A = this chain, B = another copy of it.
Amino acid sequence: MTDVTSSTNLYAEVQQFYATQMQRLDSVDVEGYAATFTDDAEFIHSPGQPGSHTRDGIIRDVYKVAEQFKTDPQQRRHWFNMVNLEPLDDGSIKSTVYCLVVKNRPGQKPDFVSCVVNDILVRVDGALLTQYRRVDYD
């Protein structure tokens, strides 16, 4: 339990978690990406629109998004930075993170989308998972 209480070790662990999570998404390892969420996760991609629920729901919705890239091929890179952690009383961790989505289309300069990721992270069997995510676009 040392990692949970030591905020400095936790900080590196969260950064490694996000690197793994988003590199999986960007390499279209959809199942591997969904495995970084809890079974009962809620993921609100766009405020005002229905979110994804459960790992199966996330898998379905990510494949749906990937469909669009067939007609608009691009290598996306999700950059998370300025990770702001706040351990909550129930043992979960509130994480507020800046995100830049870098969209690389063949022969074009990168395109950027700026947003803020609002996460609740929990520890399940020792490993960090995302239980809740809401993305707010700038």
Footprint of B on A, CB under 8 Å?
Answer: 3, 6-13, 15-16, 18-20, 22-23, 75, 77-85, 96, 98, 100, 102, 104, 109-114, 138
* Chain B residue at smallest Cβ distance from A75: B138
- CB-CB under 8 A from A96, the residues of chain B are 19, 23
Copy number in this complex? 3
Query: Which residues of B are found within 8 Å of A112, using beta-carbon distances?
Result: 102, 109-110
Residues of chain B lying within 8 A (CB to CB) of residue A6: 9
A84: which of B23, B77, B109 is its contact (CB, 8 Å)?
B23
Q: Specify which chain B residues have a CB less than 8 angstroms from the CB of A11 in the assembled complex.
A: 12-13, 15-16
Complex CA distance for A104 and B116, rounded to whole angstroms: 12
